[in-house]
Structure 1
Amino acid sequence: MSWINTLKNWWYQPLKQRQISYGRGSHALANPQEKELFEHSAEAFKKGDILSGFNLFLSSLIHQDFTLPTSHLTIKRNEDILFFSLYQGYAIVKGSVTRTSLEAHADITLRDQLHVALKRRFLERNFQLTYCRFSESKGVVRLSIKLDNATITPQKIFYPLREIALNADFEKEFIASEFDELVLLDTGHLISRTPDEIESNYACMQQWIQETKQSLIGLLSNDNTGMVSFSYLALLLQIDYLLLPHKKMAKNINEKINGYFMDDEKLTEDKNADLEQYLNELESIDKTVFSTQFYNAAYTFSPFDQAMHEEISAFIDESLSKVRWYKNNRSNYVITVIYRYISLYLLYNYGLHPSLKALLHLHVEVYTSDFFQSKKEHPLYNPITKIFARSLISERIEEAIEPYLERYKGLQNFAEHLNYSDLDHFSQSFYLQIKNLDYTEM
């Protein structure tokens, strides 16, 4: 390297992407050497160096800038065996690797404390799982896998480990929401939210529900079913993304949102009534019960499969066509709601590239400035003066895109192309830029 390049690198420090701690998923950025470690792992397996291959592969899963007190993944290796432990929400997956096999398990509960309905459920779930199985060992019900390392590759490790981690977390969440949480094993790693956080979350949820109900006064008629749907769905998506509830509350929100989109014979009015009824339940929820629905935990795997950008673009196109329809029909109220709904639904329903997740999170921040200001973050928009923090928005867009320019040469900071005249124009220009992002690898 020439002295000019050395001086340039000394002065210019590449931007680091901000870690986003909202929404469901890993809550941390992927390892910046993930691709290289994955490839080195494959090379080690080809050479027959099984333990090194596993060490490199597991290292590729370790997140960058992890903020919780303990790491989400630990690895210990000696000459003949490698041990690892990874966290996935409610679940802890513990495993050991030798030159011939990988064995891993996540303890769920004690056999003697298992409800009959859960025994039946686990038997049925075994037929749905590809790599792992529910079984009993020394009185402990666990989810486990065993792999033969004769023809092992990184891909053959990733999918089984992801399956056991996601499903162990899911089942323990299910038991906590529908049965007795006290029967669960290995829950000491969960971090309770502080009383101040619970109080703040509760107040925010109540405020959002009241604002939504107030905005719909005079609109609750058959001619406005679409507007009501967008309002209720956007509210539930916002509660799920920003407050991140767990257990029964998370399960109910998921069921209400997915139930709305089910292709059944239910009328939209009836679906809206279901959503309204659940929002009434949230409005009247006891604060003590509410507080039990929240905790912090580490996650190794995202629950989402990576979506193609074409899918994202298609959803934005479809949503913007609805905006045009409502504009043509002079239904201005719902337009802002749809713009808010788009980013929240994309964050809820799709596996997003980290840069795209950061950009959509920015849009959520713009529309919920009061919430983020209460979290001691600088607001991106002032709803009273209706002024955008343009330089900060540009900075955030650069932070989201710049770390990936080497891999995706077509990505650009599009801040200068945004229309800051008002929220609606901002969103329209923002989504058009998002839709046309170029994730072609060079």
Structure 2
Amino acid sequence: MFDTIRTWLNPTPMHRPPLYGRGIHALPNPEERELFERASEAFIRGDILSGYEYFLSSLMHQESTFSLPHLSIERSEETLRFSLYQGYALIKGSVTPTSLEAYADIALSEKLHVAIKRRFLERDFQLTYCRFSEEIGVIKLSIRLDNATITPQKIFFPLREIALNADFEKEFIAGEFDESVLLDTGHLTLINPVKIESHYAFMHQWIQETKQSLIGLLSNDNTGMVSFSYLALLLQIDYLLLPHKKMAKNISEKINGYFLEDEKLTEDKNADLEQYLAELETMDIETFSTQFYDSAYTFSPFEQAMHDEIAAFIDESLNKVRWYKNNRSNYVISVIYRYISLYILYNYGLHPSLRALLHLHVEVYTSDFFKAAGETPLYDPLTRTFKEKLISQRIRESIEPYMSRYKGLQNFTEHLNYSDLDHFSQSFYLQIKNLDYTEV
């Protein structure tokens, strides 16, 4: 009875989105579905501007932490204008009853290297909806839609394509060439130098810890263990530090290159990862600091994954844990547990609740990082104890706001094993695997 009264007085808050990783650092609009349906209805009755207004409003995030609104809409009697931010890119658009036109200014044409201009021509063949062009000395990426048979779906994918690709190309130029040629970058926010120094110190600490842990293991018999260690480290740097520009590109290429099905031996792939980690270790802090900024994002870079895919990956990974346990390779077990959550966060588009839950697991394994960031650590590595009540509260906040929509979704805190990190992770992933996101 007292628990019920306490719940009435302190209702479950909507969980906070993790401020890490490359997903959107804000929750989706709680009326997203309703606004999307209103947009469809408005288009059917021929009210084009209202349809666009409803659709764009459905993209607005809840409680974004960025200083500028990621999406702005202005409507007059005959037109609707909007602007949205996607990392490096600013997309500006105007809508009339007959058409939508939107563009992103990329760079000053006369200052661009000829290799970049050639790249834009090649990229046009890879794009579905938008095209690069030159106008009054400015390279643009733009789209135009005819509103004769418009639907919300026919707006979403072109807008997402122009936003993601404008951001990608500007990041590429910033990492490989002279950043001063880029246009519309005034919205980017520099990271506090104290935070940069902390990131730099943690990166070095993690690299040293990984190198130390592999002493005596660097042989052909331990290639899998070495792979997990290097990949988990790069995934952790990418997720927690969130570098951009060339550093982000290189990390992505190293991780994705490892999983390419080619003729390269695992030993050679590990050597590539090791070499890049050595490059990160020797990077000076001045260069390191140029790889970071903060910005608003409108679209997720990930396609939404089915939970069956996540469950299958967890199953496959836990089978590897079982194999290493049977072969008494105990060191790598905790590395694989850490790797699982980081890889899912890196590779899949996740439901907001699942993203928050997997972030919680990352917090448990990197408690010193979060303690330095001013947050209450969920695990004490010295006493090897968990903050069980806080973990339970965080799980409840991540799940219960969605239980009315997903009737099979259940709070699983009572099923966790807090004996040690390995037992916690095993019980945690078994519960994550069995979450039910079926809409009723």
If the length of structure 2 is used for normalisation, what is the TM-score? 0.98
- Specify the alignment match of 1:321 in structure 2: 319
Give ranges in structure 1 of 5+ residues lacking alignment.
1-6
CA separation in 1, counterparts of 2:55 and 2:199?
Answer: 38
Q: Match of 1:52, as an amino acid?
A: S
**Residue of 368, 371, 374 corresponding to 2:369:** 371
- Specify the alignment match of 1:148 in structure 2: 146
Q: Which of 92-101 and 14-23 deviates more?
A: 14-23
Alpha-carbon distance, 1:19 to partner: 2.1
Q: Is the 8 A contact 2:107 2:182 kept in 1?
A: yes
CA separation in 1, counterparts of 2:407 and 2:366?
Answer: 32
Q: Secondary structure at the match of 2:134?
A: strand
- Specify the alignment match of 2:262 in structure 1: 264
Q: Which of 10-19 and 77-86 deviates more?
A: 10-19
Q: 1:8 to 1:203 in 2, by over 3 A?
A: closer
**Residue of 137, 156, 160 corresponding to 1:158:** 156
- Specify the alignment match of 2:171 in structure 1: 173
CA separation in 1, counterparts of 2:55 and 2:12?
Answer: 26
Alpha-carbon distance, 1:110 to partner: 1.3
CA separation in 2, counterparts of 1:90 and 1:25?
Answer: 15
Alpha-carbon distance, 1:14 to partner: 4.0
- 1:207 is aligned to 2:205: yes
- Specify the alignment match of 1:136 in structure 2: 134
CA separation in 2, counterparts of 1:245 and 1:365?
Answer: 19
Q: Is the 8 A contact 2:83 2:93 kept in 1?
A: yes
Q: Secondary structure at the match of 2:83?
A: strand
CA separation in 2, counterparts of 1:360 and 1:19?
Answer: 11
If the length of structure 1 is used for normalisation, what is the TM-score? 0.97
**Residue of 232, 235, 238 corresponding to 1:237:** 235
- 1:412 is aligned to 2:405: no
- 1:31 is aligned to 2:33: no
User: How many residue pairs are counted as aligned between the two chains?
Assistant: 436
Q: Match of 2:216, as an amino acid?
A: G
- 1:397 is aligned to 2:389: no
- Specify the alignment match of 2:251 in structure 1: 253
- Specify the alignment match of 1:4 in structure 2: none
Alpha-carbon distance, 1:390 to partner: 0.5
Q: Which of 338-347 and 104-113 deviates more?
A: 104-113
CA separation in 2, counterparts of 1:73 and 1:13?
Answer: 30
Q: Is the 8 A contact 2:17 2:352 kept in 1?
A: no
Q: 1:285 to 1:149 in 2, by over 3 A?
A: same
CA separation in 1, counterparts of 2:246 and 2:232?
Answer: 20
CA offsets per residue over residues 190-228 of structure 1, 9 Å max, x none?
Answer: 000011010000000000000000000111011110000
**Residue of 289, 293, 300 corresponding to 2:298:** 300
CA separation in 2, counterparts of 1:129 and 1:417?
Answer: 47
CA offsets per residue over residues 140-182 of structure 1, 9 Å max, x none?
Answer: 1000000000111100000000000000000000001111111
CA separation in 2, counterparts of 1:302 and 1:11?
Answer: 35
- Specify the alignment match of 1:335 in structure 2: 333
Q: Secondary structure at the match of 1:21?
A: coil
Q: Match of 1:386, as an amino acid?
A: R
Q: Match of 1:257, as an amino acid?
A: I
- Specify the alignment match of 1:42 in structure 2: 40
- 1:184 is aligned to 2:182: yes
CA separation in 1, counterparts of 2:409 and 2:179?
Answer: 46
- Specify the alignment match of 1:288 in structure 2: 286
- Specify the alignment match of 2:58 in structure 1: 60
Q: Is the 8 A contact 2:100 2:147 kept in 1?
A: yes
CA separation in 1, counterparts of 2:217 and 2:276?
Answer: 19
Alpha-carbon distance, 1:46 to partner: 0.8
Q: Match of 2:331, as an amino acid?
A: Y
RMSD value over aligned CA atoms? Answer: 1.2
- Specify the alignment match of 2:378 in structure 1: 380
CA separation in 1, counterparts of 2:109 and 2:265?
Answer: 44
CA separation in 1, counterparts of 2:261 and 2:145?
Answer: 39
Q: Secondary structure at the match of 2:172?
A: helix
CA separation in 2, counterparts of 1:159 and 1:383?
Answer: 45
CA offsets per residue over residues 58-97 of structure 1, 9 Å max, x none?
Answer: 0010100111111000000000000000000000000000
Q: Match of 2:266, as an amino acid?
A: T
**Residue of 344, 347, 356 corresponding to 1:346:** 344
CA separation in 2, counterparts of 1:238 and 1:66?
Answer: 24
Q: Is the 8 A contact 2:12 2:397 kept in 1?
A: no
Q: How does 1:411-430 map to 2 (within 5 A)?
A: 411-430=409-428
- Specify the alignment match of 1:310 in structure 2: 308
- 1:101 is aligned to 2:99: yes
Give ranges in structure 2 of 5+ residues lacking alignment.
none
Q: Is the 8 A contact 2:12 2:396 kept in 1?
A: no
CA separation in 2, counterparts of 1:112 and 1:10?
Answer: 64
